[in-house]
Amino acid sequence: MWLRCADRSRRGGRWGGRKRGVRAVSGAGGGGGGAAPPAATGAKVTRVTKVPVAVGYGGAVASVDADASAAGIEVLRRGGNAVDAAVATAAALGVTEPYSSGVGGGGYFVYYDAKSRTVHTIDGRETAPLTADSHLFVENGKPLAFADAVTSGLSVGTPGTPATWQTALDEWGTRGLGTVLKPAERIARDGFTVDDTFRSQTADNETRFRYFPDTAKLFLPNGRLPVVGSTFKNPDLARTYEELARKGVGAIYHGDLGRDIVKTVNKPPVAAGSGYDARPGKLSAKDLAHYGAKLQKPTHTTYRGLKVYSIAPSSSGGTTVGEALNILEKTDLSKASEVQYLHHFIEASRIAFADRGRWVGDPAFEDVPTKQLLSQKFADSRACLITDDAVLTSPLAPGDPRHPAACGKGGTAAPTTYEGENTTHLTVADKWGNVVSYTLTIEQTGGSAITVPGRGFLLNNELTDFSFTPANPAVHDPNLPGPGKRPRSSISPTIVLDRYDRPVVALGSPGGATIITTVLQTLTEFLDRHLPLVDAIAAPRASQRNAARTELEPALYNSDLRGKLQAIGHSFSLNPEIGAATGVQRLPDGKWLAAAEKVRRGGGSAMVVDPTP
């Protein structure tokens, strides 16, 4: 079902006014026992404490950022539900994590409704212009250099995030957009404290940010990198949120905000004399008006008696995590040695990625065998390729999910195409038992590097998630660009239910294609290896994506496990950091546990409404 974005603003303000000078409220409790901001009283508070785990009642929020988690908690505290709080948290992340998310991007929203005990999803992926064809990134007969495509108008898809927020609130929320945007608007206006991650992400982008004066003016205040500990304000974004609150998301899909986006994409405002050739895009008012966030069925598979729900194509997340889980189900991972656990996890990932590359693209354009990819019969036909003492060769050929053949390979192998690695994931639960698992992105850290002048947000470069040319010239690539098509994603917001359809755990991560392996590894560390959720998230990661080498984080790369796995035949490369997961776990009697990263990306922020032990 497609929802057109109507201008359905429900003006907010149910809990009224912002007091100037009041930032997101303070977190209590620096210890592991939990953190919750007190109700906004008007007292001036400047710091929000960041802890990776919190336990308590009244609902929970986990995100990468303390101000953003506090925004969600504020909404829960005032009686909003998990959907309201998720949108509030996402909007706040648009302020404090502007290089990973924002109204210039897209994402995938997964919602568990406690009353009906059912899971629903929204595909809010960016779309290619209606004029795009398979040669979108081909110039003079050759694929464009990836970096040139990233920093260009050409890679900007129609943003899906505003439509996702409005659709989620319309379908399942209890508050209007204006109301849930309030905390984020306040943070944008009054500022947040610059941390190391924000500064280093700015530094990584400094060169290309300087190509665009509006981006440099915003993110390099006074021409310099933001100083750690200083207050960063974004009054333009505060005004954008205020306009969305007043006019609704129609301001983007049919109005003046949209006109500014189109103008910027089609004529990127490059600094005179920079010499940078920012390829123009071909976005039109028609593209924006045509955009619809898509309500669709989740993917579903069972794993050791539990029900695993995630996002269906256009993301490959649900089918690939699901297929790998089905493959792993053959092995008792709870009893396996650490070496055999990692070996099976790596090989299941390799196989699932081989199948993802061949079969998954936007189902509005491609015949995607979603059901068959998730069938146990297909997984069994692939699982029998794995042995305890040998390693499969990548690129591994895909199987044919429509005609599973024992230990079958149904075609020629193709390498996994490159995807940028950045975005952000948030997980929310409320006191009624509703849960949201939501991953949103502008693709690369810093997206296209193009800020919409005067509007305070970066535009995405999501269209670089398309294959520029066929990954395997011998077979059809389902991920070539097309008119209005969604590029294949790896985003995998997941919710696991027990046999009574009650939540067990919900989680997700950023990380481009490594999202899939991070979600798979965290799930198995938690469900099979029985690590506490926060430790399952913190566990050192491996990522195999049908490549010759498996990436390892330093703690694994430098451990004796590497040698033991090499003895079976594995090859490795070092990846300094993979993913940045968050999750929530349902505990008995209405209690929730929120968990985030202990170290990655400077640590995440877990909060509950009421941390009473």
Residue ranges binding ligand GLU (CB under 6 A)? 419-423, 441, 443, 462, 465, 489-491, 510-512, 515
SS3 content of the chain, % helix, strand, coil (to 5): 35, 15, 50
CB 58 within 8 A of CB 75: no
Alpha helix locations (H) across 54-133? 66-77, 82-96
Q: Which is nearer to ligand GLU, 489 or 494 (CB)?
A: 489
* Amino acid, res. 260: D
CB 394 within 8 A of CB 550: no
Separation of alpha carbons 461 and 593, rounded Å: 34
CB 30 within 8 A of CB 21: no
Kindly report the length of the chain: 613
Q: How far is CA 81 from CA 333, 423, 446, in A?
A: 36, 24, 31
Which tokens in the block code for residue 526?
């938690």
Closest separation between CB of residue 459 and ligand GLU, Å? 14
Hey, what's the torsion of the CAs at 459, 460, 463, 467, to 10 degrees?
140
Which tokens in the block code for residue 437?
């698992």
Q: Of 447, 429, 393, nearest to 151 (Cα)?
A: 447
* Amino acid, res. 606: A
CB 613 within 8 A of CB 591: no
Question: Could you give the angle at the alpha carbon of 187 between the alpha carbons of 248 and 91, nearest 5°?
Answer: 40
Q: Which is nearer to ligand GLU, 421 or 597 (CB)?
A: 421
Closest separation between CB of residue 92 and ligand GLU, Å? 19
424 among known catalytic residues? no
Which tokens in the block code for residue 127?
């779309």
Phi then psi for residue 117, to 5 deg, are: 50, 45
CB atoms within 10 A of CB 69: 37
Per annotation, catalytic residue among 299, 320, 423, 451: 423
The structure tokens 């198995």 sit at 524
Closest separation between CB of residue 111 and ligand GLU, Å? 19
Q: Which is nearer to ligand GLU, 361 or 511 (CB)?
A: 511
Separation of alpha carbons 265 and 262, rounded Å: 5
Q: Which is nearer to ligand GLU, 34 or 322 (CB)?
A: 322
| 3-state SS assignment for residue 579 | coil
Closest separation between CB of residue 515 and ligand GLU, Å? 5
Encode 174-208 in three state secondary structure.
Answer: CCCHHHHHHHHHHHHHHCEECCHHHHHHHHHHHHH
Q: Which is nearer to ligand GLU, 205 or 422 (CB)?
A: 422
Please enumerate in sequence order all residues whose Cβ is within 8 A of that of 326, keeping only pairs 6 or more positions apart, or say none: 301, 303, 374, 375, 376, 378, 379, 380, 383
Which tokens in the block code for residue 445?
């850290």
Closest separation between CB of residue 353 and ligand GLU, Å? 13
CB 126 within 8 A of CB 164: no
Closest separation between CB of residue 601 and ligand GLU, Å? 12
Closest separation between CB of residue 610 and ligand GLU, Å? 32
CB atoms within 10 A of CB 286: 14
Separation of alpha carbons 479 and 304, rounded Å: 32
Separation of alpha carbons 48 and 36, rounded Å: 9
Q: Which residues are catalytic?
A: 423
